[in-house]
Amino acid sequence: MLCRREKKLPSLTEVDDEGEDQDTGNKLKPNDMAIRSTMRLISGNMPCSMQDHALCFTNSLLRDTTNCSPSPSLLARSLKKEFDSLYGRLWHCIVGRSFGSFVTHSPGGFIYFSVDSHNLSFLLFKTEVQLIAT
């Protein structure tokens, strides 16, 4: 099942003042609350577990660069390599403050999200290669 833009992802639900998820009532870890407060899913067409992995992995990359401004190129390369290794090759990643795009992606292989605290947007998508017979 794919998570669509209209649905809230478990890692992006609302949190009350005591640190509880308003949808489930479960107590949240500080990491979960940090992800919820700074990341915004704009559009996604991939399984929820993959979306969560993209958000959590990006959050860990940004935590590692707290002393300096993160390099969009290094973030894109790291996220692409992570998804290549876990979910097969042919992932593409674009990271930046301002970019336009129009891409064709494999079914279940697209996510576009932003990290407000770093003023960055992330576009991650997978393509398929079809060999042409000659």
Question: Could you tell me the residue ranges of all domains in the chain?
Answer: 39-126
Model pLDDT, residue 107 = 86
Identify whether the C-beta of residue 46 lies closer than 8 Å to the C-beta of residue 108: yes
- Bridge partners (DSSP) of residue 27 are 20
Token pair of 9 as six digits: 């992802």
CB-count burial class (<10 Å; 0-12, 13-18, 19+) for 18 = exposed
Q: For every one of its 134 residues, what pLDDT tens digit does the chain have, with 9 covering 90 and above?
A: 444 443 334 444 333 344 444 444 555 454 454 455 588 999 999 999 999 999 999 999 998 776 678 899 999 999 999 999 999 989 999 999 988 888 888 888 999 999 988 899 999 999 987 777 77
Residue keyed to tokens 């660069």: 65
* 88 Cβ neighbours under 8 A, 6+ residues apart: 126
Model pLDDT, residue 26 = 53
Model pLDDT, residue 134 = 72
CB atoms within 10 A of CB 36: 19
Taken in order 125, 117, 26, 79, is the CA torsion positive or negative?
positive
CATH superfamily of 39-126: Protein Inhibitor Of Neuronal Nitric Oxide Synthase; (3.30.740.10)
Model pLDDT, residue 54 = 95
Model pLDDT, residue 37 = 52
